[in-house]
Structure 1
Amino acid sequence: MNHLPRPAGEGLRTRVFQIIFESDTPLAKGFDIALIVAILASVLVVMLESIESLRADYGTLFFWLEWGFTIAFTLELAARLYCLERPLQYLKSFYGMVDLIAILPTWLALLLPGAQTLVMVRLLRTLRIFRVLRLMEFVGEGRLLIGALKRSSHQIFLFLFTVFMLVSIFASIVYLIEPAEAGFTSIPTAIYWAIVTLTTVGFGDIVPVTPLGQAISVMVMLIGYSIIAVPTGVFSAEVIRSIRADRYSDEACPGCGHDRHEQRAKYCLLCGTWLDEDSPDPQLSEEEQEAWWEEHGGKGNDA
């Protein structure tokens, strides 16, 4: 169950809460925008540091910049926990875990060199931009896609299992046919070749050299072209079904029986009949509306 964060008390904590967790004031929105800019800048520093030539020239600068961002984000997380009524509950939430994970890599680098490259997870914190720019409707669209993916998971799993069986069979045959010199030294290696061939990637590091092995390669590639769109089609069908269920109503029109109307539709698309069975058609005269209310419970005085 999701719980909205609440301030711990009046005064300073409430003021800090309004700045950090809300975005309906210029100061709060400025804080969110500055935070997103800092997140992107810290990720950019990690990217640039991975380039050897830049690391050789600016390694010290990158080091202090990364520590500066980490200390700033640590203080920001401390401020979030300070102003909340239930700080531990926030840490268990999605954003709380992301905030915590975003600062851990640099601190862990004190014990595990190289761990600071994991700060790329900070990009997840930029999801706050949806709240800043009033784009929360896109979150709903994302939930629709996740729901469609969950509903199609069984079909996709069955498809992938079938593909794996085909890959294993073809790989075993090619392993028996091709010499070890061609690179087919084991069945797992042959499975790797079959997957690369089925997905039409074709790295070319392992290639059949016998005519029969090349013929099997052609079959695998053709099968790959034939079935590669299957999971996409299954997922797309679920997305379309979700959109229709969310947008359209299954209630039939009392006039013509048509049952594919949008949720907010007031009149039938085909015959123009009033669709709301709980209220009279506002186009009716007052006498007709009174008669409708009397027929449906005598609520004409409340209309």
Structure 2
Amino acid sequence: MAQRSIRQIVYDTMYLQNTLAGKIFNVFLIACIVLSVMVVLAYSIPSVAAEYWFAVNYLEFFFTVLFTIEYLLRVWCTPSPKSYIFSSFGVIDFLSIAPTWVTILFPLFPSLALLRLFRVLRILRLVKLLQYLNDTYLMVQVLRNSRRRIAVLSLWILVLVVIFGTLMYVIEGHAHGFTSIPISIYWAIVTLTTVGYGDITPQTVLGKIVGAVIMLIGYSMIVVLAGVISQKFTEAKTNVQEKVCSACGGDGHAIDAVYCKHCGNLL
């Protein structure tokens, strides 16, 4: 009976965000996630990694142990461990701790490039923050509901950058840096997205006119896309109710939701 009670306390603390213990746990975990990501970023700086090698590695090991304990406790206390393990956040939780254990257990890893990839995967801890933002699921739902419009808009963008890129290749040519159609398409993408690196710029009057047209089209598309997403977000916001998952305790599900957005359990 005592073991079952402890399990229930751990479950309420880790999964129920509307309790005092749950809120304190979430704040503590968010702080650890941010600090651990900062450690990973610091490790990628050669001077910092060389001078503070011991401190950086010690902190990384500490956070890995901490997140490993969290992962095991989540698996242990949830009524449906399989649902959590194979849920999106369960996979992210596992991938965020696996790289460090791989480097510790297999120090002579065969591929240095693959080893670096595993180390960079620790940055996935930052994705864990998404499960503590109430509107994360809404945004995912909005993007899913708008996928057809986004796909059509993306197709239009693809067509436009190919057309304008080819046009600029003909107008400007090799003399002004537009040495090939792919290079010109790259310039069109940079210009359409209003980034404007400035590494390639039109020099002729006609080329500048075309560049101005592309920039205006880019701003128009941004406005259209923002309008579509904001409209869908408002619609989705009105269709959300406090529907709690019996497996993980997650709430904030849509009225027509069938599966839990946190662990994938059937609602």
Structure of higher CA gyration radius: 1
Deviates more, 1:29-38 or 1:170-179: 29-38
Rate the CA distance shift 1:65–1:190 in 2: closer, same or farther, 3 A.
same
Deviation of the 1:209 alpha carbon: 2.7
Rate the CA distance shift 1:13–1:31 in 2: closer, same or farther, 3 A.
farther
1:102 maps to what in 2?
Answer: 96
1:122 maps to what in 2?
Answer: 125
Provide the C-alpha distance between the structure 2 equivalents of 1:26 and 1:243, rounded to a whole number of angstroms.
26
Match 1:195 to one of 179, 183, 189: 189
Deviates more, 1:147-156 or 1:81-90: 81-90
Deviation of the 1:68 alpha carbon: 2.3
Deviation of the 1:58 alpha carbon: 0.3
Provide the C-alpha distance between the structure 2 equivalents of 1:237 and 1:68, rounded to a whole number of angstroms.
44
Q: Which has the higher contact order (CA 8 A, sep 6+)?
A: 2
For residues 39-68 of structure 1, the C-alpha deviation after alignment (integer angstroms, 9 at most, x for no partner) is 332222112223333222101211122122
Unpaired runs of at least 5, structure 1: 1-9, 131-137, 248-303
Unpaired runs of at least 5, structure 2: 242-267
Q: Secondary structure at the match of 2:201?
A: coil
1:18 maps to what in 2?
Answer: 9
Q: Aligned partner of 2:2: which letter?
A: G
How many residue pairs match? The answer is 229
Question: What's the TM-score once normalised by structure 1's chain length?
Answer: 0.64
Q: Is the 8 A contact 2:85 2:91 kept in 1?
A: yes
Q: Is the 8 A contact 2:10 2:77 kept in 1?
A: no
Provide the C-alpha distance between the structure 2 equivalents of 1:229 and 1:217, rounded to a whole number of angstroms.
19
Q: Name the one with the larger helix percent.
A: 2
Deviation of the 1:206 alpha carbon: 1.0
**Pair 1:50-2:44 in alignment:** yes
Deviation of the 1:194 alpha carbon: 0.7
- Of all paired residues, the percent bearing the same amino acid is 38
Q: Is the 8 A contact 1:200 1:221 kept in 2?
A: yes
Q: Is the 8 A contact 2:143 2:229 kept in 1?
A: yes
Rate the CA distance shift 1:21–1:43 in 2: closer, same or farther, 3 A.
farther
Provide the C-alpha distance between the structure 2 equivalents of 1:83 and 1:16, rounded to a whole number of angstroms.
5
Provide the C-alpha distance between the structure 2 equivalents of 1:149 and 1:193, rounded to a whole number of angstroms.
28
**Pair 1:178-2:180 in alignment:** no
Q: Is the 8 A contact 1:182 1:208 kept in 2?
A: yes
1:219 maps to what in 2?
Answer: 213
